[in-house]
Chain A
Amino acid sequence: MLSVLRTIWMVLLHSFRKRDTVLYPEVKPYLPPRYRGRIVLTRDPDGAERCVACNLCSVACPVDCISVIKGEDETGRWYPDTFQINFSRCIYCGFCEEACPTYAIQLTPDFEMGEFDRQKMVYEKSDLTISGVGKRPGYNYYRVAGMAVGGKDKGEAVSESEPVDIKTLLP
């Protein structure tokens, strides 16, 4: 019986404690840069799209919410014709970010994307693409990759050696 009275007294003392609740819309919580929130498509430092429409993100996605259709420009460089993410399905697991070879697709610390219309949760390429480089400043896939594309030939990439001439015996 005494313990019950003691409990009541101790609960009453909680009137003078600090409240733990964060009043959300007024007080925003701190989200670290690596928080997995809204997905964006970034550009490389030159301002060109990073995405090469390889569909690895689409394959990696456990809920199949990414849909990419490949396009190709006159220099042979691939780019996504359409790039849709259905955010009403997305579970923000970040697998697409891990799968992406060009660091194009990235997750950002933003989660405020509620909608009344479910159809509005399907983000098109224009909604997804941002003008910056995201979490990977200075990274340009085609500068370091050994692929011949858009005027850059094989062996011209950063710290890439000349391609081996397999038709000759000279060292």
Chain B
Amino acid sequence: MMIGVSDSTFFSALWQGAETIIILLAVVIASALLIWLERRLLGLWQDRYGPNRVGPFGLLQVVADMIKIFFKEDWIPPFADKAVFIIAPAVIMLTTLLTFAVVPFTETIDVVNLNIGLLFVLAMSSLGVYAVILGGWSSDNKYAMLGGLRTAAQMISYEVFMGLALLGVVMLAGSFNLHTIVESQAGLWNVLTQFPSFVIFLIAGCAEIHRAPFDLPEAEQELTAGFHTEYSGMKFGMFFVGEYAGIVLISSLITVLFFGGWLGPVLPGIVWFLIKTMFFIIFFVLLRAATFRPRYDQLMSFGWKVLLPIALANIALTAAAVVATS
């Protein structure tokens, strides 16, 4: 026990630490299970089964994959920039998990209640770009390099629309605090009042975690595997799990920002949160199953010529509405 700190503060600090670890572990395990879920769901929609052999419903497939990936040779190419090559996969896990620190799962379950929560989310997602860019650059491989270049342009552009889409939500709630934003939706979910920004956030979020249909940085058909072509072993595993953690993150952010987070009748808050988040996770998988990859210039012009004007118009309208009603 620390000197000058009473028992109760010490235990609350301990509880806070334990809660943090539990939440982070839950997120990582959920992301790993998401690999299984995605494969099963893709199987379902492509009239196949997907992994169903290891354990009940193939649930232990993840464990098998983990064991395999841990024992794989961790090869660093001799021509790579070694330090940067090692840092890159750590960055994506770090930024994604740090973002979960501000996500309010329920009124009480969260890591930290930050008054600039939403800005923190944007800051971390903007730092996440480095993982991909540096991974691509340090591999010293033309496919990885092209993947890195594509990511740089794609993620910076779509971050703009993401931020602009969120401004409407911030205006309605009058705060960057995610708790306040959820509580401001007690009467009416933001998805109804802010439908355009919901759609923009969905698309930009998808581009931000470079999932299909916006997976140009890792387009298998043209760039072998894009930025992580040279990665193997657990470093590749971190990129892989980082991507799925990104899906969980974007889904939970959509839930928090547009679908009233933990708010809902009868059931406890955490259940509502999980139901809503799960819905969007499944939607992202469906999106991957059903959509095609656009050409790169189409991607950029769609962002700057369609999403940007809509986002700006939405901000103007929301501002006018807020001023008119206040």
Contacts and interface: CB of A to CB of B under 8 A. Distances in A.
A14 interface: yes
A19 B47 contact: yes
B290 interface: yes
Interface stretch (A3-11, A30-38, A76-84, A136-144): A3-11
A11 to B, nearest CB: 4
A23 interface: yes
B287 A8 contact: yes
B47 A17 contact: yes
A14 B45 contact: yes
Nearest to A22: B49
B286 A11 contact: yes
A134 to B, nearest CB: 35
B289 interface: yes
A19 B41 CA distance: 12
Contact of B289 (A11, A18, A19): A11
A74 interface: no
B291 A4 contact: yes
A20 B44 contact: no
Given A19-B49, A21-B49, A12 B291 contact: no
Contacts of A12: 45, 286, 290
Contact of A8 (B44, B47, B290): B290
B46 A14 contact: yes
Contacts of A161: none
A21 B52 CA distance: 12
A37 to B, nearest CB: 24
B48 interface: yes
Contacts of A15: 44-45
Contacts of B43: 19, 21
Contacts of A23: 49
A11 B290 contact: yes
B279 to A, nearest CB: 13
A12 B44 CA distance: 9
B203 to A, nearest CB: 11
Interface string B273-302: 000000000000011011100000000000
Interface string A107-147: 00000000000000000000000000000000000000000
B286 to A, nearest CB: 6
Contacts of B48: 19-21
Interface of A: 4, 7-8, 10-12, 14-15, 17-21, 23
* List of 3 A-B pairs having minimum Cβ-Cβ separation, nearest first: A11-B290, A8-B290, A14-B45
